[in-house]
Structure 1
Amino acid sequence: MKIYGINGSPRKNKNTATLLQKALDGVKEAAKDKEIETEIINLYDLNYTGCISCFACKRLGSNSYGKCAVKDDLQEVLEKVSQSDGLIFSSPVYFSNVTGKFLSFLERLLFPYLVYDNNGTSLAPKRMPTAFIYTMNVKEEVMKQIGYLKTFERMESNIGHIFTKPLVMYSNNTYQFDDYSKYKVESFSEEEKAAHRKIQFPLDCQKAFELGANLIKH
């Protein structure tokens, strides 16, 4: 078995990447009686674009029907991911949405599998289990007040239509900078952020671990 973790953050050792690794650790722990591999794919290491609207994936009788035909760094990744046994998506929230790099990846991953028939049939080779980890600077109550959940739910619905509805977790009120004194950040308290992280982030790591464990049980 192979489970991929998709890191939609440009950083490889901060909040999002840490939680993603914890989730994959949970996968391995829950499946320790099975042969299972995990791998993180760092999207910001790859050179690619979003969908270019060539519609080669919709052309009947072509070799690219149901597959993205664009030849760039994402081509091999999409092929590997299509044969996996589970996917854990992760992204920080930048400017009220997941990162642009992650959205471009999701376009290229999902759209080729969507059939323009009356049922919106999925051509995905596997209806694999999925999960999603969101990290963000805002507190949980603000996340709900300003409509983040509606944005996330639309994306999760698309993932669920092609694969399966993702298990979800949020890490809120994240600690952004190593040294807040170097930045103009009047709207946040470094002291409050640090206190929150000390208590909450270990709990979020445990939640991510449990998310991964639950993924493999589905």
Structure 2
Amino acid sequence: MKVIGLNGSPRKKFNTATVLRHALEGAESKGAKTEIINLYDYKFQGCISCFACKLKDNITGGICAVKDDVTSILVKMAEADAVIFGSPVYFADVTSSTRAILERFMYAPFVYCKDYSSVYEGKMKTACIYTMNVKSKDMENRGYVRTFETTRSYLERIYGHSEYITVNDTTQFADYSKYIAEAFDPVAKAKARKEVFPQDCEKAFKLGASLVD
């Protein structure tokens, strides 16, 4: 079994990347082969509405027809047994790189027949890991969950099983005193990093393992 993790953060060793790696370790604990891909290493854009994927003969086979840095990644994703998207939340949604690859991953196999079905014929599990500075209560009050659930429902419709987890109240800076960040209590942030973040990593580990079961 192959599980691919997509790091949609510009950072390769911080919150999102760390949690994503724990998810992949969870998959590995069940015998899966894994690969992590850092999206910010590639130059690409989202869907350009060329509609090649909507032609009746569907020459693309459900994979985005645009050729660029992530074409080979999209092929790997289509052939994987599970794909995990990891992204920090910027202004209530995923990063632009994460959004771009989601558009192309979801739109190409999605066709406009009466039941809006998918040309994807395999079985794939997908999951999203959202990391964010805001606390869980603020996330819910600001409507983030609606966005996360919409993405989950599309992934599930197109590829099959999909789920997500959230990692809240993350640390943004190593030294809060250097930044305009009076809205946050650095002591509380340090406490959350020490006590809660390890629990989030364990939650991600279990997510990765469950995708292989």
- Equivalence for 1:38: 34
Secondary structure at the aligned position of 1:41 is classed as strand
1:205 aligned onto 2:201: yes
Contact 1:56 1:65 in 2 (8 A): no
For the residues of structure 1 that align with 2:58 and 2:169, how far apart are their CA atoms? 48
Q: Per the alignment, do residues 196 and 62 of structure 1 end up closer, same or farther by CA in structure 2, a change over 3 Å counting?
A: closer
- Equivalence for 1:12: 12
Structural RMSD (CA): 1.2
160-169 vs 82-91, which deviates more?
160-169
Q: Per the alignment, do residues 116 and 134 of structure 1 end up closer, same or farther by CA in structure 2, a change over 3 Å counting?
A: same
128, 131, 134: which is aligned to 1:132?
128
Contact 2:54 2:108 in 1 (8 A): yes
Q: CA deviation at 1:127?
A: 2.5
Q: How many residue pairs are counted as aligned between the two chains? A: 213
1:51-101 per-position Cα deviation (integer Å, ceiling 9, x unaligned): 001101111235325331111011111111101111111111011111111
TM-score normalised to the size of structure 2? 0.96
Contact 2:61 2:119 in 1 (8 A): no
Aligned sequence identity (%): 48
- Equivalence for 2:3: 3
For the residues of structure 1 that align with 2:138 and 2:58, how far apart are their CA atoms? 47
Contact 2:9 2:95 in 1 (8 A): yes
Matches within 5 A, 1:112-123: 112-123=108-119
For the residues of structure 2 that align with 1:126 and 1:44, how far apart are their CA atoms? 28
For the residues of structure 1 that align with 2:203 and 2:136, how far apart are their CA atoms? 15
162-171 vs 129-138, which deviates more?
162-171
For the residues of structure 2 that align with 1:13 and 1:160, how far apart are their CA atoms? 29
For the residues of structure 2 that align with 1:135 and 1:121, how far apart are their CA atoms? 30
> Which amino acid in 2 is paired with 1:10?
P
Contact 1:167 1:215 in 2 (8 A): no
Q: CA deviation at 1:30?
A: 2.1
Q: CA deviation at 1:8?
A: 0.9
For the residues of structure 2 that align with 1:20 and 1:192, how far apart are their CA atoms? 24
For the residues of structure 2 that align with 1:111 and 1:14, how far apart are their CA atoms? 30
- Equivalence for 2:102: 106
For the residues of structure 1 that align with 2:60 and 2:151, how far apart are their CA atoms? 25
For the residues of structure 1 that align with 2:61 and 2:51, how far apart are their CA atoms? 9
**Runs of 5+ consecutive residues of structure 2 not aligned to the other structure:** none
TM-score normalised to the size of structure 1? 0.94
Matches within 5 A, 1:164-203: 164-203=160-199
For the residues of structure 1 that align with 2:61 and 2:53, how far apart are their CA atoms? 4
- Equivalence for 1:72: 68
1:95 aligned onto 2:91: yes
- Equivalence for 1:54: 50
